[in-house]
Amino acid sequence: MVVTQPCATTKIDIRNPSNMSLEFSSWLSDQTTSEEIRLLRRVGGMEAKSTQFQAMEFAKTAAYGDVLVLDDTIQSAEVDEYLYHEALVQPAMMTHPNPQRVLIIGGGEGATPREVLKHPNVKSLVMVDLDRELVEFCQQKLPSWHQGAFSDPRLELLHTDGRAYLAQQEAQFDVIILDITDALEEGPAIALYTKQFYSLCQQRLSESGVMVVQGFSLSPLKWTEHATIRRTIHSVFPVVRSYSIFIPSFACTWGFIIATNNIDPANLSHGEIEQRIGDRNLADKLKAYDAVSHTGMFGLPKDLRLKLAQLGHILEDGKPLVFEEK
């Protein structure tokens, strides 16, 4: 069946005419490599600048609304960031029976704390994000991301190095969320992916404590770095699980690694999860996450699970980062 609809209006642009003046469009590239190009059509103007730590672009796209791009890859899109942020935060928050003290390293957009603060259990949320300039930009320009989280009295926001913070303070957390997004080739981020760092996290976790790490693009074709990070975490934590969710604006499934000393998040029953959602009065506050989607996220394809279970190299302080190729 065919439906005719009026086109976007054609502007007579005097700079580049042809018999029928075609309007110029602008395009934003995402995750583009020498093998695959992905471009999203932009609408209107954009902002772009480099902070001390990363190059950022903020633009509105036709398909996904406003998007925040860091170092040439989309971090977050207005229309589906809830999928990423609920997936990052909710399984860990639900795995813990009563999460009162939570730490986020990264999270500068404001959506990660937003998800944590939905839980009435939370008494204290510390957020450590090194890039002050980016955080201030997000506070100002991305209100639908933070939805007031930055103003919540339970939140303490620090602009310092996350590992240094964790090392020098001794309090324990119930949940630690590592929402670090910058590339590994330089700077402090490298130190946030090693066995030594995960040991430090383990020391700072309470008894039923849960750690979750965003674990990059994960699919049967892309799994090497996720697997290396996962093995590194597993060399410290006895219980480690991978899960993933499809994020339309990323055009891929994003992986996460959740770790505890005892509870297995993949074995939470539907009843337990729905009980906690009810107790915490979250049914209306969670858009994508519930017991069924929790189970769905952990149900990875067989061949991917086998690849993730392979033995191999782990990441350690002072040693070069090598991601094993299989």
Can you tell me the distance from the alpha carbon of 323 to that of 132, in angstroms, rounded to the nearest whole number?
30
Q: Which helix (H) or strand (E) element contains residue 58? A: strand 55-61
Asked if residue 310 binds a copy of itself (CB under 8 A), the reply is no
DSSP structure class, residue 14: T
Residue tagged active-site, from 30, 66, 174, 179: 179
- Among 195, 304, 183, smallest CA distance to 244 is for 304
Asked if residue 164 binds a copy of itself (CB under 8 A), the reply is no
Amino acid (one-letter) located at 263: I
Q: What would the two tokens of residue 279 be?
A: 């107790």
Asked if residue 140 binds a copy of itself (CB under 8 A), the reply is no
| Residue indicated by tokens 């633009």 | 59
Q: Which is nearer to a copy of itself, 40 or 122 (CB)?
A: 40
Judged by CB under 8 A, the stretch of 20-28, 93-101, 106-114, 146-154 that binds a copy of itself is: 20-28
Asked if residue 165 binds a copy of itself (CB under 8 A), the reply is no
| DSSP H helical ranges for 181-283 | 195-203, 224-234, 270-279
Return binding residues for spermidine: 85, 109
Can you tell me the distance from the alpha carbon of 245 to that of 300, in angstroms, rounded to the nearest whole number?
10
Q: How far is the CB of 235 from a copy of itself (least distance, A)?
A: 18
Q: Which of 45, 153, 271, 318 binds a copy of itself (CB under 8 A)?
A: 45
- Pick out residues in 211-230 that bind a copy of itself (CB under 8 A): 216-217, 219-226, 229
Q: How far is the CB of 207 from a copy of itself (least distance, A)?
A: 29
How many Cα neighbours within 13 Å face the side chain of 5? Answer: 4
Q: How far is the CB of 182 from a copy of itself (least distance, A)?
A: 8
- Pick out residues in 245-274 that bind a copy of itself (CB under 8 A): 245-246, 248, 251-253
Q: How far is the CB of 126 from a copy of itself (least distance, A)?
A: 24
Residue 179 known to be catalytic: yes
DSSP structure class, residue 31: S
Q: Which is nearer to a copy of itself, 119 or 294 (CB)?
A: 294
Q: Which is nearer to a copy of itself, 76 or 157 (CB)?
A: 76
Q: What would the two tokens of residue 217 be?
A: 């693009």
Q: What is the DSSP pairing of strand 155-158 with strand 173-179?
A: unpaired
How many residues form the binding site for a copy of itself (CB under 8 A)? 107
By CB atoms closer than 10 A (0-12, 13-18, 19+), residue 278 is: exposed
- Among 37, 127, 111, smallest CA distance to 78 is for 111
How many Cα neighbours within 13 Å face the side chain of 185? Answer: 2
Q: Which is nearer to a copy of itself, 48 or 167 (CB)?
A: 48
Asked if residue 191 binds a copy of itself (CB under 8 A), the reply is no
Q: How far is the CB of 205 from a copy of itself (least distance, A)?
A: 23
Q: Which of 208, 235, 274, 323 binds a copy of itself (CB under 8 A)?
A: 323
- Among 56, 59, 32, smallest CA distance to 43 is for 59
Cβ atoms within 10 Å of 247's Cβ, excluding its own: 19
Q: Which of 53, 84, 256, 298 binds a copy of itself (CB under 8 A)?
A: 298
- Pick out residues in 49-88 that bind a copy of itself (CB under 8 A): 49-50, 55, 57, 61-63, 71-73, 79-80, 83
User: Which positions are catalytic?
Assistant: 179
